[in-house]
Amino acid sequence: GNGVFTSVVLKALQGDADVQVSGDHDGKVNVYELARYTKAKVPEAARQVDPSHKQDPTYHFAGSDFFDIKARD
């Protein structure tokens, strides 16, 4: 299977980032939604693996929202 970070990113790209955390429900996942979703969900998922397991993703953006991914219909 996938690791914690990859599993969360895949769920985010399937549309969860658009409808959860602070998504705008527009049917597309943008880079900011992806970042906010993974920042919130990766630590939760890591704790489910083991309470002592810690992952805390960080991001650096230089530019604009450079891609949108259409969420599932």
- Full-model pTM: 0.80
Neighbour tally for 27: CB within 10 Å: 14
Q: How far apart are CA 18 and CA 25, in angstroms?
A: 5
Q: How far apart are CA 8 and CA 33, in angstroms?
A: 13
Q: How far apart are CA 70 and CA 55, in angstroms?
A: 27
pLDDT in tens, 11-31: 999 999 999 877 889 988 888
pLDDT in tens, 43-73: 999 999 999 999 998 887 766 655 555 655 5
Residue 10 has pLDDT above 60, yes or no: yes
The residue to which tokens 């489910």 are assigned: 48
